[in-house]
């Protein structure tokens, strides 16, 4: 009896000691777990599983696209570890689980097995990205690396908070090559974004080949020069431009689609159209001549709303755009037709006989609202055309001024009010407020150390603090489809600078888009950034270290994580 008692107590003691050790090891694991965006449901288990030369089994019922995504993960693992995977034995087991939603995934790593389940491409892509972020950062590189190739034992069930998780790219003000655009998509993939909003046309350059209007790229894709720095009246006299052929656009769309990313094209209308007017001056109220703009700001010249040829033009352009881009949504712009800082200015629409005739025909009363009513007419007509092709429109929040036809989605950029108003009126909305999500804004207050920029102040922590449902009328929350950050490129001439503005702010964006409210935690996010910087180094992507006090593009002394860690150690700066 006594013996049994001792034995029983010893067992209990052992159990307690083991549990304490397990808890300590699990909480240490939780501390070092640095996946961004943080998965929504993680259980930390004891131990780790080696993945070097592990087996990979892929359920044959998984669709071709998802198998290709898993294949890219396996390829990255083999390259980084320098060891081929095997067909059988302990290791990865990728399984189709039709009970999961298209963006959900499940990972269970235990007893030398790594079970991965999803039902569709996006789920498999996100599972692979989570696995990659749990491994040494070298998995994002393209060479063999010496590292501890193990995965921690965990169970993860994960799904995004918002369906629409976007990042915008302006390729009009400055032009990005196909390779640079694909790299942009690669970082979006790493952080589980699913929509690229491609701003393809603007006053400073038309970037999309339209076969029925060839002058759009022959003339509209090129400007004679660009203003220098903040001096809008200067000009460097250097011809600048470029455009994407339809084949190149399709290549980017396919590349994104393989990674679960939809590309939404934007043809900004009826404003921001000077490049098109330079190509086809008859589409403007005055007939021109116009020149592709070499300065930044809001151009007074826009498409004439009274000329039927303009609608033929828009329908012709949008038909080709819809033929190239399979996205459910087509973005038709609608912003800044009139300068909000020049309320009393006289615009071509005020003076144009064709626009006046259109207003009379529509019964629009003269007055300060007349212009907005005429813009409503243009929006509604284009929306009808886009809808007739089975697609839906998105427009900047100016489209809400006046009447807006049912079925339009509003992109709230002038703060959060547009989104609040749209949702309350029953329209879907995407939140992109400049107050939190304009990545062309400065990241530090020490502007003298930063490259020339548009202004503003948007450090990483402010981005992270954004809560998309704040202020939304109770009951209208479901109209908020999701969140996007915008990256306008007037002041961003190089890819190095583009990536510097994008990262790590896009990582903060990813947690706004993905993480449930209770999973967001800036301290935990901040502690994960060291690993993210290593990942970006491995990818060869630039990023800002303003959040670590190393301000500016030329962030000396470090250009890679090892040098940076050394610098930080010596200077007592934390990751």
- Please tell me what DSSP assigns to residue 212: T
Shortest Cβ 272–ligand ACM spacing (Å): 8
- The listed partner (Zn ion, ligand ACM, none) that binds 396, CB under 5 to 8 Å by sort, is ligand ACM
Answer for the pair 260, 454: CB distance below 8 angstroms, yes or no: no
User: Are 228 and 300 in contact, with CB atoms under 8 Å apart?
Assistant: no
Among 290, 347, 413, 533, interactor with ligand ACM by CB under 6 A: 413
Question: Of residues 348-367, which lie at the interface with Zn ion (CB under 5 A)?
Answer: 352, 354-355
Residue 285 binds Zn ion, judged by CB under 5 A: yes
Can you read off the two tokens belonging to residue 258? 């393989």
Q: Which is nearer to Zn ion, 304 or 463 (CB)?
A: 304
One DSSP character per residue, 27-87 reads HHHHHH---SSPPSEEEEEEEEEE-TT-EEEE-TTS-HHHHHHHHHHHHHHHHHHSS--BS
**Minimum CB distance to Zn ion smaller for 306 or for 468:** 306
CB of 413 to ligand ACM, least distance (A): 4
**Binding residue (CB under 6 A) for ligand ACM from 290, 396, 427, 491:** 396
Please list, in sequence order, all residues whose beta carbon lies within 8 angstroms of the beta carbon of residue 414, skipping any fewer than 6 positions away.
Answer: 397, 433, 434
Q: Any idea which residues carry the catalytic annotation?
A: 202, 272, 336
What does the per-residue mask of binding to ligand ACM show for 320-349, with x meaning CB under 6 A?
---------------xx-------------
Nearer to Zn ion, 354 or 381 (CB): 354
Rounded-to-integer distance, Cα 520 and Cα 525, Å: 8
List 270, 294, 306, 419, residue binding Zn ion (CB under 5 A): 306
User: How far, CA to CA in Å, does 73 sit from each of 66, 80, 212, 390, 510?
Assistant: 11, 11, 41, 35, 21
Min dist. Cβ of residue 388 to Zn ion (A): 25
Instruction: Mark residue 553 as left, alpha or beta (left: phi above 0; alpha: psi -120 to 50; beta: remaining).
Output: alpha
**Residue 168 beta carbon to ligand ACM: minimum distance, rounded to whole angstroms:** 9
Q: Using N-to-C axis directions, what is the helix angle for 353-362 and 370-388, rounded to 10°? A: 80
C-alpha closest to that of 105 among 48, 27, 35: 35
271 binds Zn ion (CB under 5 A): no
Residue number with CB closer to ligand ACM (377 or 396): 396
* 431, interface contact from Zn ion, ligand ACM, none, CB < 5-8 Å by kind: none
How many CA atoms lie within 13 Å of 502's alpha carbon, on the beta-carbon side? 28
- Scanning residues 38 to 77, which ones bind ligand ACM (CB under 6 A)? none
Q: Please report how close the Cβ of residue 299 comes to ligand ACM at its closest, in angstroms.
A: 12
Q: Is residue 407 within 8 Å of 420, Cβ to Cβ?
A: no
Cβ-based nearer residue to Zn ion, 231 or 309: 309
What residue 400 binds from ligand ACM, Zn ion, none (CB within 5 to 8 A, per partner kind)?
none
Contacted entry of Zn ion, ligand ACM, none for residue 306, CB cut-off 5 to 8 Å set by kind = Zn ion
- Asked if 374 interacts with Zn ion (CB under 5 A), we say no
Residue 170 touching ligand ACM (CB under 6 A): no
What does the block give as tokens for 283?
A: 């589409």
Cβ nearer to Zn ion, comparing 309 with 461: 309
- Residue 336: which of Zn ion, ligand ACM, none does it interact with, CB under 5 to 8 A by kind? ligand ACM
User: Which of the choices ligand ACM, Zn ion, none does residue 95 contact, using the CB cut-off of 5 to 8 A by kind?
Assistant: none
By a kind-dependent CB cut-off of 5 to 8 A, residue 552 interacts, out of Zn ion, ligand ACM, none, with: none
- Compare residues 19 and 361 and give the one whose CB is closer to Zn ion: 361
Burial of residue 198 (CB within 10 Å: 0-12, 13-18, 19+) is buried
CA distances from 528 to 207, 210, 515 (A): 37, 44, 15
CB 207 within 8 A of CB 243: yes
CA dihedral sign, ordered 363, 367, 372, 375: positive
Binding site for ligand ACM (CB under 6 A): 335-336, 396, 413
Binding site for Zn ion (CB under 5 A): 285, 304, 306, 352, 354-355
């Amino acid at each position: 009896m006594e013996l049994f008692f001792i034995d029983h107590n010893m067992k209990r003691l052992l159990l307690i000691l083991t549990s304490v050790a397990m808890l300590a090891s699990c909480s240490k694991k939780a501390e070092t777990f640095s996946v961004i965006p943080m998965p929504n449901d993680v259980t930390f288990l004891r131990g780790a599983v080696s993945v070097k030369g592990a087996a990979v089994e892929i359920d044959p019922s998984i669709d071709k696209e998802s198998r290709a995504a898993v294949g890219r993960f396996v390829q990255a693992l083999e390259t980084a570890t320098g060891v081929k995977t095997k067909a059988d034995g302990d290791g990865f087991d990728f399984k189709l689980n039709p009970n999961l939603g298209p963006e959900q995934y499940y990972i269970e790593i235990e007893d030398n097995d790594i079970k991965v389940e999803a039902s569709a491409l996006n789920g498999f892509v996100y599972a692979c990205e989570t696995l990659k972020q749990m491994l040494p950062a070298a998995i994002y590189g393209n060479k063999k690396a010496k590292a501890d190739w193990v995965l921690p034992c965990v169970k993860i069930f994960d799904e995004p908070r918002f369906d629409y998780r976007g990042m915008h790219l302006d390729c009009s003000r400055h032009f990005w090559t196909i390779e640079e655009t694909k790299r942009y998509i690669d970082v979006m993939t790493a952080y589980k974004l699913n929509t690229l909003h491609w701003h393809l046309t603007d006053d400073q350059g038309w970037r999309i080949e339209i076969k029925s209007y060839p002058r759009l790229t022959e003339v509209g894709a090129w400007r004679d020069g660009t203003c220098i720095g903040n001096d809008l009246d200067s000009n460097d006299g250097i011809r600048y431009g470029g455009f994407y052929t339809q084949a190149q656009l399709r290549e980017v769309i396919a590349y994104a689609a393989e990674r679960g990313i939809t590309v939404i094209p934007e043809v900004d209308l009826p404003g921001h159209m000077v490049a098109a007017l330079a190509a086809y001056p008859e589409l403007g109220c005055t007939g021109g001549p116009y020149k592709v703009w070499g300065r930044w700001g809001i151009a007074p010249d826009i498409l004439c709303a009274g000329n039927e040829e303009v609608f033929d033009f828009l329908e012709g352009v949008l038909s080709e755009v819809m033929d190239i881009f399979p996205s459910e949504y087509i973005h038709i712009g609608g912003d800044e037709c009139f300068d909000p800082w020049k309320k009393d200015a006289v615009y071509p629409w005020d003076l144009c006989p064709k626009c006046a005739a259109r207003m009379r025909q529509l019964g629009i009363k003269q007055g300060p609202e007349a212009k907005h009513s005429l813009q409503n007419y243009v929006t509604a007509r284009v929306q009808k055309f886009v809808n007739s092709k089975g697609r839906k429109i998105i427009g900047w929040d100016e489209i809400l001024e006046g009447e807006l036809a049912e079925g339009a989605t509003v992109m709230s950029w002038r703060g959060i009010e547009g989104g609040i108003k749209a949702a309350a009126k029953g329209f879907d909305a995407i939140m992109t407020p400049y107050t939190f999500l304009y990545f062309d804004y400065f990241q530090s207050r020490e502007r003298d150390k930063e490259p020339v920029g548009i202004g503003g102040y948007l450090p990483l922590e402010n981005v992270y603090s954004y809560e998309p449902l704040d202020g939304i009328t109770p009951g209208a929350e479901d109209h908020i489809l999701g969140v996007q950050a915008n990256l306008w490129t007037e002041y961003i001439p190089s890819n190095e600078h583009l990536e510097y503005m994008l990262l790590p702010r896009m990582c903060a964006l990813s947690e706004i888009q993905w993480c449930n409210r209770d999973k967001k935690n800036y301290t935990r996010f901040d502690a994960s950034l060291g690993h993210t910087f290593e990942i970006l180094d491995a990818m060869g992507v630039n990023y800002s270290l303003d959040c670590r006090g190393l301000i500016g593009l030329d962030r000396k002394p470090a250009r890679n994580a090892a040098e940076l860690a050394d610098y930080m150690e010596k200077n007592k700066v934390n990751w």
